[in-house]
Amino acid sequence: MSDDMTAAGVTDGDDADDKMLLAELCLMAGIVDPVPPDAIAAARSAFAWRTMDAELAELTGDSSVNPALAGVRGVAAPTMLTFDAPGLTVEVEVLEVAGTRRLIGQVVPPGASAVEVRHRGGVTAAPVDEVGRFSAADIVAGPVSLRCSVGDALVETDWFLA
């Protein structure tokens, strides 16, 4: 490196060297890490899940973020989620069962006859009892959203990772 190089030039040179060294490490580690084409395709087709006339029940409570809601924190405590829409609350507990998920929850106030669970495995319908409780088994781990009709209104929850 020549002596007459400006300070800025030296800095730029170091920076370029650093970048190259990191790139070499990435290459060696096999990390050329573009977004997997499957993930792009899935994100594009996510648009088809759009329901124009649905009311959104937003996530307002999450025991995995606020452990106080889950009681004792730690070993495989089920996740408790709360979703709120005007006049309707959906509470869901996510349990891990042999690699799949089981959702147990309640629609408050009761009134919906069924809840639809949308997940990677398709749409699973779960009947809702007279006090609003429901249970859905064999839900594929990954993004999940619940949907139910109460009266004339269609309500769907935010997507979450179950």
Partner 1 sequence: MAGGGGDDDAELVERARSGEQQAWDQIVTRYGSRVWAVARAHRLSSADAEDVFQVTFLRLVTHIDTIRDPSRVGAWLKTTARHECLRTLRKGGRAVPSSDGDVLETPDPLLPPIEAGMEADERQVALHAAIGRLTEQCQRLLRVLMVDPEPSYEEVGKALDMPIGSIGPTRGRCLKHLRRELDGI
Residue 74: CB minimum distance to partner 1, A: 7
Nearest in space to 138 (alpha carbons), one of 108, 98, 91: 98
Q: Measured from the CB atom, is 89 or 110 closer to partner 1? A: 89
Residues in contact with partner 1 by the rule CB under 8 A? 14, 17-19, 21-26, 28-36, 38-40, 42-44, 46-47, 49-50, 52, 56, 62, 64-65, 74-76, 79, 141-143, 145, 156, 158-161
Residue 63: CB minimum distance to partner 1, A: 10
Measured distance CA(157)–CA(16) in Å, rounded: 47
Exposure string of 80-114, with b = 16+ CB inside 10 Å and e = fewer, is bbbbbbeebbbbbbbbeeeeebbbbbbbbeebbee
Residue 30: CB minimum distance to partner 1, A: 7
Q: Measured from the CB atom, is 43 or 97 closer to partner 1? A: 43
Do the beta carbons of residue 115 and residue 105 sit within 8 Å?
yes
